[in-house]
Amino acid sequence: MKKNATKSPTGRIAFIGNYLPRQCGIATFTTDLCEAIATEYPGTSCFALPVNDIEDGYAYPRRVRFELNEKDIDSYLRAADFLNINNVDLVCLQHEYGIFGGRAGRNILALLRELRMPVVTTLHTVLCEPNDDQRAVLEELVALSNRVVVMSERGAEFLRDVYHVNAEKIDLIPHGIPDVPFVDPSFHKDLFGVEGKMVLLSFGLLSANKGIENVIAALPAILAKHPNVVYIVVGATHPHVIQHEGEAYRLSLEWLAQEKGVEGNVIFYNRFVDLEELIQFISAADIYITPYLNEAQITSGTLAYTLGAGKAVISTPYWYAEEMLADERGALVPFKDPAAIAEQVIDLLDNESKRHAMRKRAYLFGREMIWPTVARRYMDSFDRARAERRYFTPPAFAVKPLDRRPGELPPLKLDHLRHMTDETGMLQHAVFTVPNYREGYTTDDNARALLVSTLLEALGSEEALDLAHRYLAFIWYAFNVDTGRFRNFMSYERRWLEESGSDDSHGRVLWALGTVLGRSNNAALQNMAGRVFEKALSAILQTTSPRAWAFALMGIQEYLQRFAGDRRAGKVREELAGRLLELYRRNHADGWRWFEPSLTYCNAALPHALLTCGEAMSSPEMSQAGLESLDWLAGLQRADAAGHHFVPIGSNGFYPRDGERARFDQQPVEAQAMVSACLEAYRITDDARWRKEARRAFDWFLGRNDLHLPIYDPTTGGCRDGLHADRPNANQGAESTLAFLQASLELRLAENIVVNLEARSSQ
C-alpha cells in the first residue's frame, strides 16, 4: 500500500462528466481522475454520473451509478435527489459547455442548485470573450461551487480578470497524465510497421479545428530533406462531427495528401484508441505536432500526454501550448503556416542533440503531472472545500418555501406534436387525438410550430431541427410572391384555398421567422428564414389587425436582437408600435385600460408587444402603457379578488366594454399569451409578481381552472381544445397543443434566467 494510503480519508465522492466508453476527451479525463483518486485513496468510495448524448447510453463500467440525459432537464433534478439521499460527501464536476444540454450547457445548473454537499468544479474551458449565456452560466457555476480547478495559469487569470472570481477560490492543478518511462522512440516502431522511419504524430478526435491540413501541406518540404519521415494521425472523427458532417474533413485531408504527392507518407489510424494503444503510439513518435487553428484553448489533454512522455513537441501558440512549452520544452510556430512547421521539423530532425534535450526538459516537467500526484492535489482541494463548507454554507442551499422556488413543470412530451405533423407540415385539427385530414393545414399553425421548434432547439432538443425544416418549408411554400402575403388555408390534397390569408397569420409568420433569425444557430434555417422575412416584412404595414401588428413586433424584436443594424426592420417596428400606442391612447379610460372597445382573443399579446418595444426603443410611454394594460388584464382574468386561479376571456362572446363578459369557452392560446407577456414583464422589471402571474396562467393548463380539470394531456403530450362550461373539449388540435408547448418552453427558458438573477444578487 502507498505510504499516504494509510492516511486516506473515507467518504463518498461523485464524479459528474462524460465517462468512458464515450469517445471524447472529457470522458477520458473524468475516468482517469476517478480511477486515480480511487487508487490513491482506497478508503474513499468513488463513483460516476456520466452524461449521455445518445438515447441508449453507453456500456459503462460498474463504477457508474447514475446516468444523466444531456437534453432532459428532469434527469438532472433526479440526479440531485440521488446524490442527496445517498449521503455523498463531495461532488467533483467536470465542466465543458458542450456536454450539458440547454443554452450554453445551463442544464447542469439545475442539478447544482439542489445539492447539499460541497462541489469542486474543474473548468475545461474558460473563455476570454464569452457571450451573455456563457458568462451567465459560468458565473452561476462558480457561485454554486465551493472551489474551482483550472489547469493553466491563463485559465486562472481569465477567472480573476474576466469573471472577477476571488483568487482564493481557484486551485491550479495540471492535467493528469499516465506515468510512462522515458524510452527511445525506436522501441515501439515495429508495432506499427514504421521501423527505420522518423515518425511525426498527431492524435485526438478529428475535427476541422485541429489544423491537420497544415502538417500535410508541410510534408513535401520535409520529405525533400528527410525522405524517411512518416506522419501518423491517430483518432476517430469526433462523434458529433460524424453526426452533422460525416467524414468530410478526413476525406479532405486524404485528398490533400494525394494532391501534394505525400499519400505514401501519411497514415490515418481511424479509431478511438485506449490508453495502452495511445501510449504505444506516443512512444513511437519522434516529434509530436499540435497544429490547432486558434489560440482559444485553455487546456489540451493530448499535449499534456506527449509532453509528459518526453516527446519533442511542435505546436501552434494556443494558450495552453504557450504555457506548457515555455523554457524550451517545445517549439511554437504561427497558426496556419505550413512553411514554419516544415522549418521546425527539419531543424529538430537535423539536430538530434537539440531534440533530445527538448525531450528531457519536457519529461522532467511532466513528473508533476502524473496521475498519483494530480490525485493528491485534487484531494487537497476536496479537503479545502469540505472545510470551507462547514463554516461558510452558502444561502442558496437553504430549504426554500414555495414562493421562493419555481414549481415543477410537466416533462416535455412531443408525441402528439409528431402525430399532428406529416411530410407536408402541421395539420390543423384533430378528432380526439387523431389528426383530422378533412380540415387540412394552416400557415398560422405551421408558424406556431416553427416558433416552438426554435424554442426546442434553444433547450437542446435533437429533433428540433428536423421539425423546424418541415414547418419552414411549409411557410416558404405558403408565400405568394405576387401579393407579398402568405396563403393560410391548405386542403389535405395540398391545394391552397385562398390567395392571401388573414392579417393575423401574416403577423404570426413574421413572429416565427424573427425567432428563428434571432435564436437559431442552424445556418440553413437562418438563410431560408431571412429570405422569407425580408420579402414579407413590408406587407405587414398594409394590415389592419392590432394582433397582427403585435405578433409582427415580437418577431421583429427577436430579429433585431441579432441584427440590430437593420434600419428597415427598425422603421417597421417604429410604425407598428406607434399604431398600438395610439390605439391605447384613444381607448383607455378609468376602469378600461385597454387598446380596443372590447377584449377578444390573444389579448395579452398587445401589452406584450408594447413592453418589448418600449424597452428596445427607450420609450417610457410605451413601457408604461404595456405594464398598465397587462396589470389591468391580469386583475380581470382572476377567479376572485384573492386571485386564486386564471380565468381567460371566453371566446363565446368575448367581452365588449360595458357589456357582459363571456366566461366560456376558454382557449389555450389565452393562457399562452398571458404566460409570454408576464415573463416579458418579469424580464424587464425584475418584479417577482409577474413571475407568479405567468405560473398562474400556466397552471390553467394543469387543472387550476374553473372546472379543476386538466387541459393538458400528459399521456399524449397534447392539449385539449379549450374549456367549456361543463367539460374540457376532448379534441387536441394544433393550436392548443402548440400553445401549451410554447408556454412550457418559455417557462423552462425563463426559470434559468430567474435563478441566474438570484444567484448574482446573493454574491
Closest CA to 719 of 698, 703, 741: 741
CA separation for the pair 549, 50 (Å, rounded): 47
**Helix orientation angle between 567-587 and 546-562, rounded to the nearest 10 degrees:** 140
Per residue in 263-299, pLDDT (tens digit) is 999 999 988 888 788 888 888 999 999 999 999 888 9
In a domain, 595, yes or no: no
Cell for 133?
449565456
Higher pLDDT, 670 or 203: 670
Q: CA 63, 145, 305 angle in degrees (round to 5)?
A: 55
Residue 3 clears pLDDT 50, i.e. is over it = no
Same domain (yes/no): 352, 421 = no
The domain boundary residue, chosen from 399, 416, 451: 399
* 756 in a structural domain: no
pLDDT digits (tens, 9 = 90+) for 129-146: 999 889 999 999 999 999
**CB neighbourhood size of 686 (10 A):** 12
User: Do 169 and 93 lie in a common domain?
Assistant: yes
Domain count, the chain: 3
Domain boundary among 321, 350, 367: 367
pLDDT above 60 for 301: yes
Q: Which DSSP symbol is given to 736?
A: H
**Does residue 407 share a domain with residue 393?**
no
Q: Give residue 754's pLDDT.
A: 46
Whether 493 has a pLDDT exceeding 60, the answer reads: yes
Evaluate the omega torsion of the peptide bond into residue 658 and state whether it is cis, within 30 degrees of 0.
Answer: no
Give yes or no: residues 87 and 156 share one domain. Answer: yes
Q: CA geometry: angle at 109 spanning 464 and 374, to 5°? A: 115
Kindly report the CATH number assigned to the domain that includes residue 407.
1.50.10.10
Q: Domain check: are 297 and 343 in the same one?
A: yes
Instruction: Say if residues 547 and 555 touch (Cβ distance below 8 Å).
Output: no
Alpha-carbon separation of residue 472 from 90, 422, 425, 510, 524 (angstroms): 47, 13, 9, 12, 11
Sign of torsion over alpha carbons 719, 725, 727, 733: negative
Is the residue at 757 inside a domain? no
The predicted pLDDT at position 735 comes to 98
Query: Comparing 473-482, 492-501, 750-759, which segment has the lowest mean pLDDT?
Result: 750-759
- Supply the pTM of this predicted model: 0.66
Residue 562 and residue 513 in contact, taking contact as beta carbons nearer than 8 Å? no
pLDDT at position 444? 98
Q: Please, which pLDDT band fits residue 127 given cuts at 50, 70 and 90?
A: very high
Give yes or no: residues 113 and 72 share one domain. yes
Inside any domain, residue 597 = no
pLDDT at 241 over 80: no
CA 726 → CA 430, 663, 707, 732, distances in Å? 21, 12, 8, 17
Which residue carries 401579393 as its cell? 483
DSSP state of 711: S
Q: Region 606-620: what's the mean pLDDT?
A: 96
The contacts of residue 601 (CB under 8 Å, 6+ apart) are: 547, 649, 651, 654, 667, 669, 670
Residue at 596 is within a domain:
no
Tell me: pLDDT of 389 over 90.
Answer: no
pLDDT at 399: 45
- 522 and 657 part of one domain: yes
CB 376 within 8 A of CB 40: yes
- Asked if the model's pLDDT at residue 762 lies above 50, the reply is no
Phi/psi of residue 674, nearest 5 degrees: -70, -40
Query: Is 423 contained in some domain?
Result: yes
Determine contact, residues 486/479, Cβ cutoff 8 Å. Answer: yes
Tell whether 49 and 165 lie within a shared domain: yes
Antiparallel, parallel or unpaired: β 434-435 and 430-431: antiparallel
Alpha helices in 520-646 (DSSP H): 523-536, 546-562, 567-587, 605-616, 620-636
Instruction: Assign 407 a pLDDT band (cuts: 50, 70, 90).
Output: low
727: pLDDT confidence band, cut at 50, 70 and 90? very high
Q: Residue 109: pLDDT above 80?
A: yes
Q: What is the pLDDT of residue 664?
A: 96
CATH of the domain at 72: 3.40.50.2000
Q: Are residues 253 and 123 in the same domain?
A: no
Average confidence (pLDDT) over 316-334: 95
Helix (H, G, I), strand (E, B) or coil at 94: strand
Does the pLDDT of residue 365 top 80, yes or no?
A: yes
Asked if 47 and 15 count as a contact pair (C-beta separation under 8 A), the reply is yes
Residues 320 and 270 placed together within one structural domain of the fold: yes
638, pLDDT greater than 70:
yes
Q: Quick one: 355 and 431 in the same domain?
A: no
Confidence of residue 403 (pLDDT cuts 50, 70, 90): low
- CA torsion sign, 337 to 128 to 683 to 621? negative
Write down the pLDDT at residue 5: 43
| pLDDT of 350 above 50 | yes
Radius of gyration of the chain measured on its C-alpha atoms: 30
Tell me if 592 is assigned to some domain. no
Separation CA 445–CA 508 (nearest Å)? 9
Task: Report the candidate in 575, 595, 592, 574 with the shortest Cα–Cα distance to residue 583.
Answer: 595
Among 388, 457, 471, residue whose Cα is nearest residue 120? 388
Residue 593 lies in a domain: no
Q: Which residues pair with 171 in a beta bridge?
A: 149
Residue 183: which pLDDT band, with cuts at 50, 70 and 90? Answer: confident
Residue type, 462: E
Share of the chain above pLDDT 70, in %: 94
C-alpha cell at 57: 447510453
Tell whether the model's pLDDT for residue 502 goes beyond 70. Answer: yes
Take residue 605 and report the three cell numbers written for it. Answer: 399579446
Give me the domain span that covers residue 137: 3-176+372-399
DSSP string, 491-542: -TTS-BS-SS--HHHHHHHHHHHHHHHHH---HHHHHHHHHHHHHHTGGGGG
**Mean pLDDT across the chain:** 91
In sequence order, the 6+-apart residues with CB closer than 8 A to the CB of 490 are 424, 440, 441, 442, 443, 478, 496, 497
Predicted local confidence at residue 9, as pLDDT: 56
Q: How far, in Å, are 167, 215, 263, 423, 472 from residue 118 at the CA level?
A: 18, 45, 53, 50, 46
Assess whether 624 and 690 both reside in one domain.
yes
